[in-house]
Amino acid sequence: MSTLLKSRVVHRPKLEHETPLVAIAAARQVIEEVSRYLDLPLPTRYAARLANRARVNYANSSAFRSRINTPGDSGREKLYQYMRHWFAAYLQSNHPELYDQLPSGFSVGQPLPASRHLSPYAQLLFS
């Protein structure tokens, strides 16, 4: 009589299923923020990479999950901080000429100041 082995299915936590956050939307916003600040179109694949990194970290790191799963807007803001930090590190390694144009606070997740390329009306909205 043969023994049947049951395969274990590991259910990993999923960012979009357990939170109201949408990783690709947050990532696109971060890439757009940098693109407007630098006045330079950036490839959409950057947003896909950031979203994937957020999903992988959420699935594999209880510490990351605990920082993202917070009440109110703080989880969303924390996700933006992580994505800004990750993207700054990517730019520093792969495009230092772009990284050097960003304020130092971006590396630790701070939002960029209102873009100098926005209309005067839009600058009022973001200031």
H/E stretch holding 30 reads: helix 23-38
The domains of the chain are located at 15-126
Residue 92: the pLDDT is 98
Residue length, the chain? 127
pTM for this model (two decimals):
0.82
Residue 84: the pLDDT is 97
For residue 119, CA distances in Å to 41, 122, 125 come to 17, 5, 10
Residue 114: the pLDDT is 74
Q: How far apart (Å, rounded) are the C-alpha atoms in residues 30 and 88?
A: 11
Residue 71: the pLDDT is 87
Mean pLDDT per 10-residue interval, the chain, length 127 residues: 55 87 95 93 96 96 95 93 98 97 95 70 60
What does the block give as tokens for 38? 């630098």
Residue 1: the pLDDT is 46
Side chain identity, residue 50: L
